[in-house]
Chains A and B, each alone.
Chain A
Amino acid sequence: MLLIHCPYCEEDRSELEFRWAGEAHIARPENIAAISDEEFAEFFFLRNNEKGLTYERWRHIHGCGRFFNAARDTVSDRFLMTYKAGLPKQPIPVASKAAAIAEEKTVETWEATEGDAR
């Protein structure tokens, strides 16, 4: 079970108090009524679902109730940082990035365990 740092409560709390809320930094177009079908699809339906470093939204739903942003490595589940909603995409501190990369190596992945059996 994850331990997540809430940037509003300024404390690490159990994953139980939180709810994941999808990819971060996807702004709703201000002229939404006027955008094309393709632009709408891009905004509403399409997500990158990247493996590794992702920016995502969480809500401290059973805590302070605030939405916030997190940078998480989806391979190791390490949170590189969390920051308040409304802030632009934050750069990852170098030390945390290095730690995350080292940690990724320890994680069992399909490629590592079964990939050679293809």
Chain B
Amino acid sequence: MSSSSNSGEFRIKGAGRHTPARTARFTFDGKSYTALEGDTVASALLAHGVHLLGRSFKYHRPRGILTSGPEEPNALLDVSRDAARRQPNVRATVQEVFDGAKIASQNRWPSLKYDIGAFNDMLSPFFAAGFYYKTFMWPREAWHKLYEPIIRRAAGLGEAPKEADPDHYASRYVHCDVLIAGAGVAGLTAALSAAATGKKVILVDEQPEVGGALHFDSSTVIDGQNGFDWAQAMAAKLKAMPNVTVLTRTTVFGYYNHGFLALVERVTDHVALPGRDLPRERLWQVRAKKVVLATGSIERHMVFANNDRPGIMLASAARSFLNHHGVAVGRNVGVYTAHDSAYEAAFDLKRAGVSIAAIVDSRSHPGDGVLAEARALGIDVLTGHAVTDTSGRLRINSITVTRNGGANARKIKVDALLISAGWTPSVHLFSQSRGKLRFDEANQRFLPDIYAQNCISVGACNGTDDLADLIDEAIAAGGGAAVVSGENRFEWTGGMIGAAEGAGPEDAVKAFVDFQHDVTAKDIRLAVREGMHSIEHIKRFTTNGMASDQGKLSNMHGLAIASEMLDRPIPQVGLTTFRAPYTPVTYGTLIAHSRGDLFDPARKTPMHAPEAAEGAEFEDVGNWKRAWYFPKRGEDMHAAVNRECRTVREVGGVFDASTLGKIEVVGPDAAKFLNLLYTNTWDTLKPGKSRYGIMTREDGFIYDDGVVGRLAEDRFHVTTTTGGAPRVLQHMEDYLQTEFPHLNVWLTSTTEQWAVIAVQGPKAREIIAPFIDGLDISNEAFPHMSVAECTIMGVPGRLFRMSFTGELGFEVNVPADFGAAVWKAIWERAQSMGACLYGTETMHVLRAEKGYIIVGQDTDGTVTPDDSGYGWAVSKKKTDFVGIRGLKRPDLVREGRKQLVGLFTKDPKDVLEEGAQIVADPNQPKPMTMLGHVTSSYWSETLGRSIAIALVAGGRAKMGSTLYVPMADRTISVEVTDMVFFDKEGGRING
């Protein structure tokens, strides 16, 4: 480690709270610097006299450090550990220095000092508010080719990393009685008060250590102790209590409904070599019974000509750099203020040996206390004066001072200028909680008024400035007894909002309101002149407050300037709504664990591993991984599927049908209930038999389908489509609970109870026979659509005789934990007999050859049972079922509805594209009248030609006619056919 002597020539001996011996090295734009542990990037660079940190967004003006906190609009940097761990737009005032940090400036080329983009500053008369809206309106064609690409290249601040994020992020739900946002005097006091009552308390602060304003305010004494030291002692006391959690480096970024708050804890961004187990950030999702907002206030800048040069910063920021970091922000510092608090900065610097060029106060009568102290310290105070200009290209070197209303200006040399227009209460979280603000006319600020949640604001964010009052307020908010006493040395008075002297409507100067978006007072006035009268419109026209700092400094100034132009009081102009997040939040935190394997559950069937071992390729069906096809060496998908199709039809195949939804319907009214939920009739179905059922919604359209087996008078085994399982159960529960609650029946999902092995093909019976015990499975005893409970390889199972291939078929159901073993045994025997494994692709082809529909592929929510050729499944006798009335609607019974039919391409080798449109006349002018579209299309190995299913208007009446499928490069002629392409008589299933 290097010695402390080179941690910066602006480091003041004896000032600050960092240990001189504890250093860290970092680079800024390639140059190496030494910092002290605890430094922010801002304080570390200021210690070396570096003020120029970046270029502004629009005009590329040189910019420095304006603040010392999260409200920073200017000093946005690119911070990295390595190529993948790089983050743009990091606030230099928040990022703590760590050993080895690589930091770079942004928005400049070729270098920070010589930036070509600064040309924009000279063209600035053309870049006024609304420039983009107005300039690129015409010619219209130029937008896509010319304007948009150029604007896009110039837009955006910083460069996003291209590598995947190697860090991980944690998340935690937590409940508490009291959440306190902000650990300054008010927050700590409220926490002590609440904690003493035994309540579960969470105290949150965004800084590395508690203290809030005590970081810079060196004059406050609490319980007879220096304020900052008191704060650390109280934090230690709170941390030792079992009912208290203290989270530092943690930001409450969102305050949502019903006491729900989102917090981000930055765990490793300040650490040189973070442990691999540590998450970079942790998302806390808190449900709090009560919220205490102790979020303090933010100092405002003065709005005057050229107020944005490096070296110009908030007075409180200069105090933080001095009192906390031990860094002087200059050697000859000026102050421009409208508030007493800025004097404190001058006093602290003066006592630390820094020369104070002058305090320029826009007010004629500052507080007596500060005037007396300035006099005692020998500091010049110019009351009733304004700073009307500044100079210095890359850093301020002088200010121009003019008496208010006077003409004679004089220049004063400075190397830094501290500014303060007063303090804006941080009501962001209060506003997010949907609380309503009121305007405090006397002090020109918005304060909490009507609360929408169980929440209370205390301290500076509530407009309570006096320390003794603040402490009383915080104790009351915590609900406990008095624990703290303290007093202020000064009364803080004054403050202004809006443009200062010399930046009025007649002055053609750049007086910045919003630094990050380069919005000036002139821009706000222009917006009003262009007809924007609502602050919401002014904001969008000028982009004031729309940068990543969300207008923490600029909103009040913008509002005051608009109010003046409109000649309407501020409350009538309105305040834009504060929204979450309070400060930018990484995607990593919002996503937390939902990435990689935990992005979404990957559902695997009990046979997944042995299927993978047999070389299965899998496809995603919802969250399920389903075996898609089983290629042999050298086979592509097409060859594998053709072989599987052939083998199933000629010998047999084994298929994993476990993912099909299953619902057990149990109770004496089970058949009655199914009668109401399906279009078919169920009370006539005998135990031991099954039936294909169609479920419609109340509107008459197909919702789901599946085979339903009756195991006993009061027990049905219902199957649903794979994707439909959860919604079908929800649909059934809805009707059962709310429309038919008188029925004695209950529903249970059994999808995952059963592993389902479908064995299909001429040899299916022979394959499974040796495994079945206690059941005669001959065609006579166990014909097509039979179901029975039996013993399968010694385990209790259910056997269905059913087919989705058109072949003789069985579906073997065994309890899932036995699935892999039974599958292996069946497959071993099947293989020895020449059968194959087949996947979902082959299943699709085989079922299409038989004209069996797939709900959701061949139907789309506008298809009735009759449209799909399944009109026979709708009972004519029933007096009620879900959909009975919908099916009679005029549009559902009219002639010419789209119906499912088969299509043969004229060239049997042509395989249509699913989704392709169908027309009657391919030569008609565009837009053509479309008759329908292809829903399923495959190469049928069995038929040696392509087959397709399509929805065609009046399709069944068009049998044998020729239609056309226009494609991009050609038109394909098709013939309308029956939907059953293979074994029309259906003899094979009865084998």
What residues make up the interface of A, taking CB atoms closer than 8 Å to B?
1-3, 14, 19, 21, 27-28, 32-33, 35, 37, 40, 44, 57, 59, 61, 65-67, 76-77, 85-86, 102-103, 105-108, 113-114, 116-117
Smallest CB-CB A-B distances: 7 pairs: A117-B534, A3-B258, A106-B452, A106-B436, A1-B260, A32-B885, A67-B737
Q: Is the CB of A113 within 8 A of B434?
A: no
Q: Is the CB of B435 within 8 A of A106?
A: yes
- Complex-state Cα separation, A59 to B698, whole angstroms: 20
Does B733 reach chain A (CB closer than 8 Å)?
Answer: yes
Inside 8 A of A21's CB, which chain B residues have their CB?
A: 734
Q: Is the CB of A67 within 8 A of B534?
A: no
Q: Is the CB of B886 within 8 A of A44?
A: yes
6 pairs from A and B in contact (CB 8 Å cutoff): A1-B257, A1-B258, A1-B260, A40-B886, A44-B886, A113-B534
Task: Give the distance to chain B from A74, nearest Cβ to Cβ, in Å.
Answer: 12
Task: Give the distance to chain A from B851, nearest Cβ to Cβ, in Å.
Answer: 30
- Contacts A3-B257, A14-B287, A40-B889; is A76 near B434 (CB within 8 Å)? yes
Inside 8 A of B886's CB, which chain A residues have their CB?
A: 40, 44
Inside 8 A of A32's CB, which chain B residues have their CB?
A: 880, 884-885
- Complex-state Cα separation, A54 to B737, whole angstroms: 21
Task: Give the distance to chain A from B737, nearest Cβ to Cβ, in Å.
Answer: 5
- Contacts A1-B257, A67-B733, A105-B436; is A113 near B880 (CB within 8 Å)? no
Inside 8 A of B287's CB, which chain A residues have their CB?
A: 3, 14
Inside 8 A of B537's CB, which chain A residues have their CB?
A: 117
- Contacts A108-B577, A114-B536; is A35 near B885 (CB within 8 Å)? yes
Inside 8 A of A102's CB, which chain B residues have their CB?
A: 450
Task: Give the distance to chain A from B53, nearest Cβ to Cβ, in Å.
Answer: 36
Q: Per-position contact with A for B530-543: 1 when CB-CB < 8 Å, else 0?
A: 00111011000000
Candidates B260, B534, B730, B885; contact of A61 at CB < 8 Å: B730
Does B230 reach chain A (CB closer than 8 Å)?
Answer: no
Within B93-117, which residues are at the interface with A (CB < 8 Å)? Answer: none
Task: Give the distance to chain B from A90, nearest Cβ to Cβ, in Å.
Answer: 16
Number of A-B contacts (CB under 8 A): 84
Does B368 reach chain A (CB closer than 8 Å)?
Answer: no
Select from chain B the residue with minimum beta-carbon distance to A61: B730
Inside 8 A of B534's CB, which chain A residues have their CB?
A: 113-114, 116-117
Select from chain B the residue with minimum beta-carbon distance to A117: B534
- Contacts A76-B434, A117-B537; is A103 near B889 (CB within 8 Å)? no
Q: Is the CB of B258 within 8 A of A2?
A: yes
Does B610 reach chain A (CB closer than 8 Å)?
Answer: no
Does B574 reach chain A (CB closer than 8 Å)?
Answer: yes
- Contacts A117-B536, A117-B537; is A66 near B737 (CB within 8 Å)? yes
Does B739 reach chain A (CB closer than 8 Å)?
Answer: yes
- Complex-state Cα separation, A116 to B741, whole angstroms: 50
Inside 8 A of B536's CB, which chain A residues have their CB?
A: 113-114, 117
Inside 8 A of A66's CB, which chain B residues have their CB?
A: 737
Does B242 reach chain A (CB closer than 8 Å)?
Answer: no
Does B890 reach chain A (CB closer than 8 Å)?
Answer: yes
Within B461-516, which residues are at the interface with A (CB < 8 Å)? Answer: none
Candidates B259, B450, B699; contact of A105 at CB < 8 Å: B450
Select from chain A the residue with minimum beta-carbon distance to B885: A32
Task: Give the distance to chain A from B816, nearest Cβ to Cβ, in Å.
Answer: 22
Q: Is the CB of B434 within 8 A of A65?
A: no
Q: Is the CB of A107 within 8 A of B733?
A: no
- Complex-state Cα separation, A76 to B484, whole angstroms: 37
Inside 8 A of B577's CB, which chain A residues have their CB?
A: 108, 113
- Complex-state Cα separation, A27 to B888, whole angstroms: 20
- Complex-state Cα separation, A21 to B738, whole angstroms: 11
- Contacts A40-B889, A106-B434, A108-B434; is A76 near B452 (CB within 8 Å)? yes
Q: Is the CB of B260 within 8 A of A117?
A: no
Q: Per-position contact with A for B718-755: 1 when CB-CB < 8 Å, else 0?
A: 00000000000010011001110100000000000000
Q: Per-position contact with A for B874-893: 1 when CB-CB < 8 Å, else 0?
A: 00000110001110111000
Q: Is the CB of B256 within 8 A of A1?
A: yes
Q: Is the CB of A86 within 8 A of B879?
A: no
Q: Is the CB of A3 within 8 A of B737?
A: no
Q: Is the CB of A33 within 8 A of B884?
A: yes
- Complex-state Cα separation, A59 to B726, whole angstroms: 14
- Complex-state Cα separation, A3 to B259, whole angstroms: 8
Q: Is the CB of A37 within 8 A of B889?
A: yes
Inside 8 A of A14's CB, which chain B residues have their CB?
A: 287
Residue with the highest number of chain B CB atoms closer than 10 Å, among A21, A40, A117? A117
Candidates A1, A2, A67, A107; contact of B434 at CB < 8 Å: A107
- Complex-state Cα separation, A117 to B237, whole angstroms: 53
- Complex-state Cα separation, A76 to B434, whole angstroms: 9
Inside 8 A of A108's CB, which chain B residues have their CB?
A: 434, 577
Select from chain A the residue with minimum beta-carbon distance to B531: A117
- Complex-state Cα separation, A79 to B879, whole angstroms: 39
Q: Is the CB of B733 within 8 A of A65?
A: yes
Task: Give the distance to chain A from B256, nearest Cβ to Cβ, in Å.
Answer: 6
- Complex-state Cα separation, A59 to B738, whole angstroms: 11
- Complex-state Cα separation, A21 to B727, whole angstroms: 12
- Complex-state Cα separation, A35 to B54, whole angstroms: 72
Candidates B436, B450, B574, B880; contact of A33 at CB < 8 Å: B880
Task: Give the distance to chain B from A92, nearest Cβ to Cβ, in Å.
Answer: 18
- Contacts A32-B880, A106-B452; is A2 near B257 (CB within 8 Å)? yes
Task: Give the distance to chain B from A56, nearest Cβ to Cβ, in Å.
Answer: 13
Select from chain A the residue with minimum beta-carbon distance to B261: A1
Select from chain B the residue with minimum beta-carbon distance to A75: B434
- Complex-state Cα separation, A24 to B337, whole angstroms: 60
Inside 8 A of B436's CB, which chain A residues have their CB?
A: 105-106
Q: Is the CB of A57 within 8 A of B434?
A: no
- Complex-state Cα separation, A86 to B738, whole angstroms: 7
Within B795-828, which residues are at the interface with A (CB < 8 Å)? Answer: none
- Contacts A44-B699, A117-B533; is A106 near B450 (CB within 8 Å)? yes
Residue with the highest number of chain B CB atoms closer than 10 Å, among A27, A28, A105, A107? A28
- Complex-state Cα separation, A102 to B452, whole angstroms: 9
Q: Is the CB of A33 within 8 A of B879?
A: yes
- Complex-state Cα separation, A61 to B727, whole angstroms: 11
- Complex-state Cα separation, A41 to B739, whole angstroms: 18
Task: Give the distance to chain B from A66, nearest Cβ to Cβ, in Å.
Answer: 7
Select from chain A the residue with minimum beta-carbon distance to B747: A65
Inside 8 A of B890's CB, which chain A residues have their CB?
A: 37
Residue with the highest number of chain A CB atoms closer than 10 Å, among B533, B737, B880? B737
Q: Is the CB of B260 within 8 A of A86?
A: no
- Contacts A33-B884, A106-B450, A108-B434; is A3 near B260 (CB within 8 Å)? yes
Task: Give the distance to chain A from B603, nearest Cβ to Cβ, in Å.
Answer: 17
Known pairs A1-B258, A37-B889, A85-B737 / 13 extra A-B pairs, C-beta < 8 Å: A3-B287, A33-B879, A33-B884, A33-B885, A40-B889, A44-B886, A76-B434, A107-B434, A114-B534, A114-B536, A117-B533, A117-B534, A117-B536
Inside 8 A of B738's CB, which chain A residues have their CB?
A: 57, 67, 85-86
Inside 8 A of A1's CB, which chain B residues have their CB?
A: 256-258, 260, 285
Task: Give the distance to chain A from B210, nearest Cβ to Cβ, in Å.
Answer: 28
- Complex-state Cα separation, A5 to B110, whole angstroms: 60
Select from chain A the residue with minimum beta-carbon distance to B435: A106
Task: Give the distance to chain B from A81, nearest Cβ to Cβ, in Å.
Answer: 15
Q: Is the CB of A67 within 8 A of B734?
A: yes
Inside 8 A of A61's CB, which chain B residues have their CB?
A: 730
Task: Give the distance to chain B from A21, nearest Cβ to Cβ, in Å.
Answer: 7
- Complex-state Cα separation, A105 to B798, whole angstroms: 61
- Complex-state Cα separation, A104 to B474, whole angstroms: 28
Inside 8 A of B730's CB, which chain A residues have their CB?
A: 19, 59, 61
Inside 8 A of B879's CB, which chain A residues have their CB?
A: 33
Inside 8 A of B256's CB, which chain A residues have their CB?
A: 1
Task: Give the distance to chain B from A9, nearest Cβ to Cβ, in Å.
Answer: 15
- Complex-state Cα separation, A116 to B409, whole angstroms: 43
- Complex-state Cα separation, A33 to B436, whole angstroms: 52
Within B741-797, which residues are at the interface with A (CB < 8 Å)? Answer: 741
- Complex-state Cα separation, A40 to B700, whole angstroms: 12
Inside 8 A of B888's CB, which chain A residues have their CB?
A: 33
Task: Give the distance to chain A from B907, nearest Cβ to Cβ, in Å.
Answer: 45
